């Protein structure tokens, strides 16, 4: 590591110290591009930041961080707990590379029992709780919430259809026939009886399943005694549905009502964090996370950063059981409790809760073992690619490019990325081919082939030039990890020649470029590989490396086709009439039916537009003025 870089970074931090107060807050280290490379919090900002001005006492990771620092920014807060929350929010938003990063920020699905209707709907919900009603969750996955929804339908016969479907039913649907709905849409149940089912469902979701089952058992016995065997059979089926849920509670501990259990296992420089959700005395599923972090970080440090980021903008349960003590655990608990009910963080040492956490640690260990095994296989494949193509290696980033269009229309380029952990979908990129604008026809909003849209070579040139010109501008020293070790082009000598020209024009001739083209009759397994300065060649049909490269090529093709189809579908609905305020779908349809095309509307006179059914004189004037603004 260059000593000058560390000294320069320490000097920048030392100069910034003059304006740093001795208060709680958050500091951001920025690189020369202005991107955050590290976000930290402190009880005393001045004392904390001053530590970075003495490089000899810092770890190698921190020394690299100081060397890359070009500026320092601070935000002062009232308390250290507020600083911790702000730090977690900034890390998730800015993704600084020297922090522990929790990249999976998907919201968890919920169950929603709606309000404002005589017969409330039972449905799956994801996102903000904007609508009235009662929400239950979170559930770890769509599968977990779907299984619970089916159980609730069987046990409580609640409707799942939308209000519009409900209002237009004239006879019971299939769900009624298979005993998963009570058919309130056609009056097969009274509002009072349906309300009782709603209350039972809420009781079950709130953890009172035993009470609900006991009441159903009494009702089944009463119906059986009264010789109402059909009603008794319905009660029996509902009890069975509830019993099935309890039978699937493979990991559960009595005494835990609402809690999350977060357990971590670390090996091979990686960490797996398992999160289990328990709500209403039920296990509502789990999810595994693999946060990105420095290989030298302890499991306690990783888990501390994970917990803070995980609960940023997420509901928190009253109890969180942990496998390891957090760094500054009391402070984390205080931060999580701000603005809401108290959150208790607990590391069980004995008893049933300790056994539960140990089981979840074992689950994390197994998940990490599988990931490491997959990474090992992926590394072997990457090394195999390097050997087969005569590259120095190691390969940590392969970029694959493909284009898609329909006779030049809606032309797009696509880039997919693969690395040691498999496909890196957050690195995928779409390129809308620019070039000269295509012409629209009179009868169709879809453009005619024009410009470079129908020229595959020109399209590839544009995509590669845009990709690497930006890389040269933003990361000339290639320190961000986003420069490829191999560029794979879907095509033969022609496409390869274009790629070489772009690489040479930009002065980055050390980036390896390889073309992959299907063999005779475009048969998979007979691909030809083209490398500058070498004769084309093929790999053995059963070679795992060939299969791996085929998968990458097919993934790029899939991504390009999907991007094209999305643009094509969007373009089909476009029309010059869409630009006119006040012209909705019905008026647009009336104009097109009358004139045949948007171009004919544009050429029409005011009086002719006024004769269209459904178009008032005011609207006709607006349409006419839109197309004759310069007249």
pLDDT of residue 444: 42
pLDDT per position as a tens digit, 603-631: 788 888 888 888 888 888 888 887 765 54
572: preceding bond cis by omega (within 30 degrees) = no
Cα 586 to Cα 287, 577, 582, 596, 602: the distances in Å are 47, 12, 11, 15, 18
Three-class secondary structure of residue 100 per DSSP = coil
Q: For residue 416, give every residue at least 6 positions away whose Cβ sits within 8 Å of its Cβ, in sequence order, or none.
A: 399, 400, 423, 425, 428, 552, 555, 556, 559
Q: Where are the domains of the chain?
A: 3-94, 110-247, 259-277+288-369, 398-571, 576-627
pLDDT of residue 327: 92
Please count the other Cβ atoms lying within 10 Å of the Cβ belonging to residue 341.
9
Q: How many helices (H) and strands (E) does the chain have?
A: 20, 18
pLDDT per position as a tens digit, 292-305: 888 888 999 999 99
* Residue 58 CB burial class (10 angstroms; 0-12, 13-18, ≥19): middle
Three-class secondary structure of residue 234 per DSSP = helix
pLDDT of residue 104: 67
User: Is the distance from CB of 468 to CB of 508 less than 8 angstroms?
Assistant: yes
pLDDT per position as a tens digit, 411-422: 788 899 999 888
The tokens describing 341, both together, are 């009910």
Domains 3-94 and 576-627 equal at CATH topology level: no
Q: Tell me the whole-structure pTM to 2 decimals.
A: 0.63
Please compute the mean of the pLDDT values over residues 452-476 and round it to a whole number.
83
User: Is the distance from CB of 614 to CB of 586 less than 8 angstroms?
Assistant: yes
CATH architecture of 398-571: 2-Layer Sandwich (3.30)
Nearest to 122 by CA among 144, 149, 147: 149
Note the maximum CA span of the chain: 92
> What CA–CA distance (Å, rounded) separates 547 from 311?
41
* Assigned CATH for 576-627: 1.10.150.20
Query: What class, spelled out in words, does domain 3-94 have in CATH?
Result: alpha beta
The tokens describing 508, both together, are 């980055």
pLDDT per position as a tens digit, 286-344: 889 999 888 888 999 999 999 999 998 788 899 999 999 999 899 999 999 987 889 99
pLDDT per position as a tens digit, 59-99: 888 989 999 999 999 999 999 999 999 999 999 888 898 99
pLDDT of residue 105: 60
Q: For residue 194, give every residue at least 6 positions away whose Cβ sits within 8 Å of its Cβ, in sequence order, or none.
A: 118, 119, 158, 182, 184
Q: Which residues pair with 356 in a beta bridge?
A: none
pLDDT of residue 620: 87
Nearest to 385 by CA among 543, 517, 240, 528: 543
User: Is the distance from CB of 558 to CB of 581 less than 8 angstroms?
Assistant: no
User: Which of residues 257 and 464 earns the better pLDDT score?
Assistant: 464
Nearest to 81 by CA among 298, 343, 346, 347: 343
pLDDT of residue 626: 78
The DSSP H or E segment spanning 419 is strand 409-419
pLDDT per position as a tens digit, 194-240: 998 898 888 878 777 666 767 777 777 777 777 877 777 777 777 77
Please compute the mean of the pLDDT values over residues 363-368 and round it to a whole number.
90
């Amino acid at each position: 590591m260059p000593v000058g870089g560390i000294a320069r970074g320490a000097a920048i931090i030392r100069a910034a110290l003059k304006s740093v107060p001795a208060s709680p807050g958050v500091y951001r280290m920025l690189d020369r591009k202005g991107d955050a490379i590290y976000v930290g919090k402190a009880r005393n900002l001045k004392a904390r930041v001053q530590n970075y001005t003495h490089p000899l006492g810092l770890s190698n990771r921190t020394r690299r961080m100081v060397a890359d620092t070009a500026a320092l920014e601070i935000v002062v807060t009232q308390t250290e707990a507020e600083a911790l929350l702000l730090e977690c929010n900034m890390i998730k938003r800015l993704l600084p590379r020297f922090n522990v990063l929790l990249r999976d920020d998907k919201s968890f699905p919920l169950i929603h029992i709606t309000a404002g209707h005589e017969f409330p709907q039972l449905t799956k919900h994801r996102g903000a709780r904007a609508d009235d009603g009662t929400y239950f969750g979170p559930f770890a996955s769509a599968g977990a919430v779907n299984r619970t929804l089916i159980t609730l339908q069987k046990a409580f016969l609640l409707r799942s259809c939308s209000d519009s479907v409900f209002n237009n039913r004239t006879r019971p649907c299939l769900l009624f026939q298979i005993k998963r709905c009570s058919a309130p849409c056609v009056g097969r149940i009274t509002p009072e009886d349906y309300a009782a089912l709603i209350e039972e469902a809420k009781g079950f979701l709130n953890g009172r399943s035993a009470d609900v089952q006991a009441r159903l058992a009494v009702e089944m016995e009463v119906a059986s005694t009264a010789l109402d065997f059909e009603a008794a059979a319905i009660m029996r089926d509902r009890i069975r549905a509830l019993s099935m849920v309890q039978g699937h509670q493979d990991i559960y501990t009595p005494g835990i009502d609402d809690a999350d259990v977060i357990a971590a296992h670390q090996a091979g420089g990686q960490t797996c964090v398992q999160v289990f959700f328990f709500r209403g005395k039920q296990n509502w599923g789990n999810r595994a996370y693999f946060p990105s972090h420095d290989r030298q970080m302890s499991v306690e440090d990783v888990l501390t950063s994970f917990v803070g980021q995980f609960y940023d903008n997420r509901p928190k349960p009253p109890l969180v059981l942990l496998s390891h003590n957090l760094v500054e655990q009391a402070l984390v608990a205080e931060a999580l409790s701000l603005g809401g009910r108290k959150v208790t963080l607990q590391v069980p040492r004995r008893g049933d809760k300790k056994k539960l956490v140990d089981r979840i640690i074992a689950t994390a260990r197994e998940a990490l073992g599988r990931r490491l095994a997959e990474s090992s296989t992926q590394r072997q494949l990457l090394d195999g690619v390097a050997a087969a193509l005569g590259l120095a290696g190691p390969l940590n980033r392969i970029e694959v490019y493909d284009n898609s269009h329909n006779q030049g229309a809606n032309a797009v380029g696509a880039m997919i990325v693969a690395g040691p952990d498999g496909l890196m979908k957050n690195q995928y990129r779409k390129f809308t081919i620019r070039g000269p604008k295509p012409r629209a026809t009179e009868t169709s909003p879809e453009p005619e082939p024009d410009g470079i849209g129908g020229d595959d070579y020109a399209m590839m040139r544009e995509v590669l030039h845009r990709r690497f010109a930006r890389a040269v501008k933003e990361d000339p020293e290639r320190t961000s990890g986003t420069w490829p070790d191999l560029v794979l082009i879907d095509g033969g000598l022609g496409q390869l020649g274009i790629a070489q020209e772009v690489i040479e024009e930009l002065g980055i001739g050390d980036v390896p470029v390889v073309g992959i083209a299907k063999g005779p009759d475009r048969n998979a397994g007979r691909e030809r590989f083209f490398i500058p300065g070498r004769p084309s060649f093929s790999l053995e049909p059963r070679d795992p490396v060939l299969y791996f490269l085929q998968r990458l090529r097919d993934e790029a093709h899939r991504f390009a086709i999907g991007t094209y189809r999305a643009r094509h579908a969007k373009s089909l609905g476009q029309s010059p009439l869409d630009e006119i305020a006040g012209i909705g779908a019905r008026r647009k349809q009336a104009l097109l039916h009358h004139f045949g095309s948007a171009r004919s509307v544009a050429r029409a006179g005011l009086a002719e537009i006024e004769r269209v059914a459904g178009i008032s004189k005011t609207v006709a004037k607006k349409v006419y003025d839109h197309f004759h603004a310069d007249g």
